[in-house]
Amino acid sequence: MKKLIVVLSMLLAVSVVQAAPEVIEKVLATVNGEMIALSEFNEIFVPYAMQAGNSISQEDLKKAKKEIFSKLLENKLLVQEAANRNIEVGKRELENTIENAKKNAGGPEVFVAQLKKEGLTEEDFKEKVRESLMAQKLVNDYVRRDLKISVQDYQDYYQKNVDKFRYPDKVKLFHILVKSGTDAKTKAESIIKEIKAGLSFTDAVVKYSDAPSAKEDGGYLDLVSPGDMPAFGMEPFKLKDGEISAPVQTTMGFHILKVTERVPGRQLALSDEIEENGKKIAVREIAQQRVMEEKFKEKYEQYLQKLKEKAVISIKMEEFK
């Protein structure tokens, strides 16, 4: 669900405006007398559900609904508290944020077209952005500002999570693909027999592989570590150098895997530097960032809980209680 939570958080960052007053809305909840309308919920849930399609289970869909509602409730509390504390958003800051949104969308025309597609006006969007910025300012002023970590904090984190600071083992992986079909597995097993009888793996790739680039790359996939190719699971890492696998089924068909080389991983020290997104960063800085994230999350949850305790919240629909 981690990916789901990240997607929902991005969608909800600018999704806290109330529905137009002239429309009679179905109310999901009220927070200090202000409603969370069904239209607000559907504004986020419907596009998500359409994008997910059949790739998400009913159970995960229920979790998504609760997560969306929870975030709407959270945002309502934050915006109300920001207003109570007279937190305002400057005209220039608001305009710059909207201009950046237009650029990211591909220009003003594309931006307006996207809004229309979602049933929003530019004024609707402007209000969403204003409230989102208010909530961000509140969190920065009352949660993030006083966060501090010590050297001992990140050193302890490193020691407790030492396995997270390690370059994983890698293997040089090749494959032969037999596309899905009635006799695909039988064909793959037959190819394996030929290889064991003396046919070289390289020749078998050229002769049998259905992968489009097989003749050019000899079936080479990549230098991979665990998790890089989840469709294969841990199968590549069970193979010895030069060994071939039994047929491994994926959505593409059956794969015959071969490992030709292993590159051992290594433990990273706090003083080491690694490359992330084209930039060098010290392992120490990564540990500091992760400790800061944990402390922020803990403090944020405590702050949010206090807002909930002093708020009058009435949830109207049973599935969100």
Report the pLDDT averaged over residues 85-91: 95
More confident residue, 318 or 193: 193
How many degrees, rounded to 5, is the angle at CA 179 between CA 177 and CA 182? 135
CATH code of the region 166-267: 3.10.50.40
One-letter amino acid at 316 equals: K
List the chain domain ranges. Answer: 2-149+284-320, 166-267
Q: Which residues lie closer than 8 Å to 207 by C-beta, 6 or more apart?
A: 199
How far is 215 from 102, CA to CA, in rounded Å?
45
The pTM assigned to this predicted structure is 0.69
pLDDT (tens digit per residue) in 222-272: 999 998 999 999 999 999 999 999 999 998 999 999 999 999 999 999 999
How far is the C-alpha of 21 from the C-alpha of 319, rounded, in Å? 25
Q: Which residues contact 224 (CB under 8 A, 6 or more apart)?
A: 170, 171, 173, 236
Pair of tokens at residue 244: 């071939």
Strand segments, DSSP code E, in the chain are 27-31, 34-37, 166-167, 170-179, 220-224, 248-249, 253-263, 266-267, 273-276, 279-282, 313-315
Residue 117 confidence (pLDDT):
83
Cα(131)–Cα(79) distance, integer angstroms = 6
Give the helix, strand, coil percentages of the chain, each rounded to 5.
Answer: 55, 15, 25
Q: Which CATH superfamily is domain 2-149+284-320 in?
A: Porin chaperone SurA, peptide-binding domain (1.10.4030.10)
Instruction: Kindly report the number of other CB atoms within 10 A of residue 16's CB atom.
Output: 23
Q: What pLDDT band is residue 22 in, cutting at 50, 70 and 90?
A: very low
Q: 278: phi > 0 → left, psi -120 to 50 → alpha, else beta; which?
A: left
Quote the pLDDT of residue 51: 84
